């Protein structure tokens, strides 16, 4: 398995990578897309753990490729597909339309958050 100092991880069909930068959601998404990927979006426990590995390595919360849809409290992948796997922290999501982005905590659980905060960029390819 290719691992550049643990900066690149393979999980299933995906490759995960982080540039170690903390930016807002739009900038994180843009840098992933410029690199030919998108924001890391865990589709199962295995992928969530792989993303968590990078989160723990930098000890920084990271944005995930998940956003709140038109309906308050209903989240989906940024490519529009429904979320079939979730790992919300207890009592989350609780933003009720005000927190449209999703971050991963250093324990692997998720929290809905405003999109203008600076979080770690983790991309998937």
Hey, where are the domains in the chain? 8-124
119 backbone dihedrals φ, ψ, rounded to 5°: -130, 160
CATH of domain 8-124: 3.10.100.10
The percent of residues in the chain predicted with pLDDT above 70, rounded, is 94
Whole-angstrom distance, CA of residue 15 vs CA of residue 47: 10
Task: Flag whether the pTM goes above 0.85.
Answer: yes
Share of the chain above pLDDT 90, in %: 88
Q: Which residue, among 7, 23, 4, 2, has the nearest Cα to 115 in the 3D structure?
A: 23
Q: Which long-range contacts (CB under 8 A, 24 or more apart) does 90-94 make?
A: 93/68
DSSP state of 91: T
Average pLDDT, rounded, for the chain: 93
Tokens of 115: 């999109």
Residue pLDDT, tens place only, 10-69: 999 999 999 999 999 999 999 999 999 999 999 999 999 999 999 999 999 999 999 999
């Amino acid at each position: 398995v290719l691992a550049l100092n643990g900066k690149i991880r393979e999980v299933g069909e995906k490759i995960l990578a982080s540039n170690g930068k903390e930016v807002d959601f739009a900038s994180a998404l843009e840098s992933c897309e410029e690199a030919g990927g998108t924001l890391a979006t865990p589709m199962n426990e295995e992928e969530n753990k792989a993303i968590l590995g990078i989160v723990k390595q930098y000890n920084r919360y990271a944005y995930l490729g998940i956003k709140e849809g038109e309906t308050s409290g209903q989240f989906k992948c940024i490519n529009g597909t429904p979320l079939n796997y979730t790992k919300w922290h207890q009592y989350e999501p609780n933003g009720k339309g005000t927190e449209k982005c999703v971050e991963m905590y250093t324990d692997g659980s998720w929290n809905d958050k405003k999109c203008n905060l600076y979080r770690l960029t983790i991309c998937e390819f």
